[in-house]
Amino acid sequence: TSRSELKPDNDDDHDDDHGGQNDDADAALSNNASAKQQQKQQQASSSNLPPRPPNPYDAIKKAIVVNDNSRQNLIRLIGLKSLFAKQLPKMPKEYIARLVFDRRHKSLALLSSDPNKKDCGDDEIIGGICYRAYPEMRFAEIAFCAVSASQQVKGYGTKLMNLLKMHAVTEGIEYFITYADNYAIGYFKKQGFTKAVQMPKGRYQGLIKDYDGGTIMECYVHPSIDFTRVPETIAAQRDFVLKRVRATSKSDKVIYPPLPSDFADVVGNAAPSISRGSALLLPNNGSSSSGGGIGGGNNNNVDARSAERSLAIPGVVEAGWTVSDLLSITRGTKDADQKKHQLKGELMSLVNKVSDQQFSWCFRDPVNTEEVKDYLEVIDDPIDLRTMEKRIRKGDWYKNKHMLYSDMMKMVNNCKMYNGEGSTYYDYAVSLEKYLATIFPKRVTAAVAAATVEGGVGGS
């Protein structure tokens, strides 16, 4: 019974002391009036904001499915089992059925909007994620994730994960964790998962199983992010930054007069050295000497004269440009940067190829010396794929492919030395060594092998 339906037990008591009630009523009316006024002010201020566009996720039919013995959920669980078995053919069907129907697991199912397919099992389910939550540890393990082949081109994979994240917040889940095979790593990366697990190991160790050939990946679920409106959020952040930039920028407020027709001649016949910015310009005499200045030579002098002419344009210096800035975008510097970026891309590609191999799972992360306490007593210089990736991203560590291959072979030899012949890890190292010979040029492998025999690192 609602409070408005309750009636007083004694009407006489209800009619007593009208004066006190009138005073209370006046105070209540006054408070209501002020509250309404504040509400109107808030509505007036919010009315200046543009209306929020409709959320496309609202049109998606979805359901959290658990094994509660209800007819509808059992039909949907059968449809999810069939979907996972069809889209994940390498996974044992008995294992899929056991986890999907396990009462500790839940599934987020995307349902067809066709009313004729309602409660039709396989036809109704177009996508799903099966997961198990650990509320006391505030994380969940994703067991299966699949979308019907006919619906994959419609972006349901991303929508499915975003909807799961939104639901996870309601369950108090902070992290998702999963073991991804080589074909799924790319998908999970796009959904915000990373190979660098930040969640303390004590929270999940012993609760989830380790899978050979799978890569453990993690995703932090931020509780205040609306994952169904990420594009709108990014656009709003971009507009906010641009507004703040425009508030302090003068580029759209100060108008300089047009350049005179003889500007090039005037600047070309100017004094041989002008200091406008953080560096001193070279003389305009076309000297080909190689000493002093910015580096010498005709090319450098031409670049310096071009920078000088650019700085002479009204507004360039005022905008904060300096000689070093202008010289950094010249052709020579561009070529060097392009070569550096090209090498970086090639090295990252090689590391990714190695990391994607099933036998490389034990090389992806540093050896945990707290668990393997004698590792550093045997191995003086540990190395792993994640360390190599960090060195490549830093940009200054590897000068060529020879240096990367040398680290790869060091990783192979470290594994062989510590584990010994006959162990599984030793076999992994042998497989990796054979694979490296197929992805690195022969001149690189030969040069490093020769340098190793001589006690150094070869390559140019």
Give dist(CA 215, CA 360) in Å, integer.
Answer: 10
Element (H, E) at 225: none
91: phi then psi, degrees, rounded to nearest 5: -85, 130
CA distance to 187, 227, 303, 318, 361, per residue, from 306 (Å): 47, 49, 5, 18, 53
Nearest to 100 by CA among 125, 136, 137: 125
CB burial of 424-454 (b: ≥16 within 10 Å; e: otherwise) equals eebebbeebbebbeeebeeebbebbeeeeee
Map residue 317 onto helix, strand or coil: coil
DSSP state of 258: P
Question: How far apart (Å, rounded) are the C-alpha atoms in residues 45 and 6?
Answer: 39
**Active-site residue (options: 141, 218, 308, 389):** 141
Taking the C-alpha atoms of residue 258 and residue 250, their distance in angstroms, rounded to an integer, is 17
Residues 6+ away with beta carbon under 8 Å from 446: none
How far apart are the C-alpha atoms of 301 and 293, rounded to whole Å? 9
Is residue 389 flagged as an active site residue?
no
In the numeric block, which tokens belong to residue 82? Answer: 């069939």
Active site residues: 141
